[in-house]
């Protein structure tokens, strides 16, 4: 028998910018980035989240003026393609087909660029299409939500839903650059701003105790989305995600361990069961609460740690129970999650705040007890809110979804 072993190493590098007024006349970020490739003009297809286009007054006109100002450097090959925002776009294969057709019609090549502007779902769809057209067209991400700027937009994954499963189809394809423009956050609803906080809490819990302590101390500011607190949260969370991708030794997830998926196996199932009506961040907040309760039941975190975790989640405005939890088949959900990961089941749990361990078995009965605990807690909370309303004290809208 003969064999030849092939082995090579690839190095990836991409910048993540934090700025304001990206398409303003004096903002140098995009012109300098495109100039660094040494090609003139750079051919670009721009794809915009429909919600961003709708809520950002004068955006298309501003982009048109920007293109005119830099016409020797860049060439938008056609009018911006507007893609429906939200998780629903990941369920429609025709959206990926539209993007592939645009690439073919406009003659884009591997040295052209696709700029994706929007929330995490739109970035996922555009990223998947860009990675699969010509085996990869250069992608620049412009995340416009808290969740996309601190998590989904800065990583190396792209994906769309299929067969009723979240991210069943996807690629590992690093972008050429990520540009976070804080001005877009001003267009977000409270619900969308809040949803992005969940990923920051998650990464703090598994990687950085001081970051968690800061979030806990600033929970009042975060509950009203104070811009300084939110922007600092985004930068810190993005930095931790990038550090993990860079240093964990498994950026393309060949192994079975995915520590950044703390709280996610339940969250993915909740998103599927509610057909995306439950925001990803809202589902992750519930998953964090459940995995924290389970960690506590396994004596991995203290009573005080559990109290602080649940208090932080609730006081920034998350509801930690959804009726869809009644429909979850825990054993089946774990099996589907294992299939998505490959190899043996590997679930990250907390070992104190700021540290995590991997477990390969989940006691279904104990986990069901954790769900019951959240249901009872939410029931008591609802009764308390009802009493407060009768007393004319009032309650703050938490953006709770009733499934």
Q: Is the peptide bond before 388 cis (omega within 30 degrees of 0)?
A: no
| 403 has pLDDT over 90 | no
Residues near 59 by beta carbon (within 8 Å), at least 6 away in sequence = 23, 48, 52, 53
Given this model, what pLDDT does residue 258 score? 63
Domains and CATH numbers, the chain: 16-187 (3.40.50.1970), 190-384 (1.20.1090.10)
**Maximum Cα–Cα distance across the chain:** 83
Given this model, what pLDDT does residue 249 score? 65
| 393 has pLDDT over 60 | no
With 0-12 / 13-18 / 19 or more C-beta atoms within 10 angstroms meaning exposed / middle / buried, residue 84 is middle
Across the chain, what does the average pLDDT equal?
Answer: 90
Structure tokens, 177: 């650059």
**Tell me: the pLDDT tens digits for 208-229?**
999 999 999 999 999 999 999 9
Q: Are 366 and 272 in contact (CB under 8 A)?
A: no
Count the Cβ atoms, other than its own, within 10 Å of residue 180: 26
Q: Are 95 and 84 in contact (CB under 8 A)?
A: yes
With 0-12 / 13-18 / 19 or more C-beta atoms within 10 angstroms meaning exposed / middle / buried, residue 326 is exposed
H helix intervals, 133-172: 146-147
Q: Are 305 and 384 in contact (CB under 8 A)?
A: no
Mode of pairing for the β-strands spanning 74-76 and 42-49: parallel
| 152 has pLDDT over 70 | yes
Contacts of the segment 15-19: beta carbons below 8 A, 24+ positions apart:
15/177, 15/178, 16/154, 16/177, 16/178, 16/179, 16/180, 16/238, 16/242, 17/177, 17/178, 17/179, 17/180, 18/180, 18/182, 18/231, 18/234, 18/235, 19/179, 19/180, 19/181, 19/182
**Tell me: the pLDDT tens digits for 345-357?**
889 999 999 999 9
Residue % of the chain over a pLDDT of 90: 78
Residues near 371 by beta carbon (within 8 Å), at least 6 away in sequence = 290, 325, 328
Which of 361, 330, 329 shows the shortest CA–CA distance to 344?
361
Structure tokens, 384: 């308390």
According to DSSP, the residues that pair with 114 across neighbouring strands are: 45, 139
| 382 has pLDDT over 80 | no
**Tell me: the pLDDT tens digits for 244-285?**
888 876 677 765 456 678 999 899 899 989 988 899 999 999
């Amino acid at each position: 028998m003969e064999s030849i072993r092939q082995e090579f190493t690839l190095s990836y590098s991409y910048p993540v910018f934090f700025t304001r007024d990206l398409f303003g006349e004096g903002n140098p970020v995009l012109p300098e980035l495109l100039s660094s490739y040494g090609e003139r003009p750079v051919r670009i297809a721009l794809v915009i989240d429909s919600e961003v286009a709708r809520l950002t007054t004068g955006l298309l006109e501003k982009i048109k003026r920007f293109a005119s100002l830099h016409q020797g450097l860049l060439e938008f090959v056609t009018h911006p393609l507007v893609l429906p925002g939200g998780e629903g776009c990941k369920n429609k294969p025709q959206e990926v087909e539209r993007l592939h057709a645009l690439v073919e019609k406009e003659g884009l090549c591997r040295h052209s660029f696709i700029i994706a502007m929007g929330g995490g779902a739109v970035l996922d769809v555009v990223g998947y299409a860009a990675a699969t057209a010509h085996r990869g067209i250069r992608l620049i991400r412009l995340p416009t939500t808290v969740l996309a700027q601190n998590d989904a937009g800065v990583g190396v994954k792209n994906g769309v839903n299929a067969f009723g499963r979240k991210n069943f189809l996807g690629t590992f394809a690093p972008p050429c650059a990520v540009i976070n423009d804080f001005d877009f956050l001003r267009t977000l609803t409270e619900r969308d701003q809040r949803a992005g906080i969940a990923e920051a809490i998650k990464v703090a819990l598994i990687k950085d105790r001081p970051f968690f302590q800061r979030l806990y101390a600033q929970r009042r500011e975060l509950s009203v989305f104070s811009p300084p607190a939110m922007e600092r949260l985004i930068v810190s969370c993005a930095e931790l995600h990038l550090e993990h991708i860079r240093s964990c030794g498994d950026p393309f997830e060949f192994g079975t361990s995915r520590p950044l998926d703390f709280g996610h196996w339940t969250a993915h199932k909740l998103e599927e069961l509610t057909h995306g009506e439950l925001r990803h961040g809202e589902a992750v907040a519930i998953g964090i609460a459940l995995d924290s309760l389970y960690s506590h039941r396994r004596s991995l975190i203290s009573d005080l740690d559990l109290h602080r975790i649940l208090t932080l989640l609730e006081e920034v405005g998350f509801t930690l129970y959804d009726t869809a939890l009644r429909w979850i088949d825990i054993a089946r959900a774990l099996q589907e999650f294992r299939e998505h990961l490959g190899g043996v089941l590997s679930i990250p749990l907390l070992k104190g705040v700021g540290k995590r361990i991997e477990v390969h078995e989940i006691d279904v009965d104990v986990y069901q007890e954790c769900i019951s605990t959240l249901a009872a807690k939410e029931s008591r909370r609802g009764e308390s809110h009802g009493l407060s309303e009768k007393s004319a004290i009032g309650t703050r809208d938490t953006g709770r979804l009733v499934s």
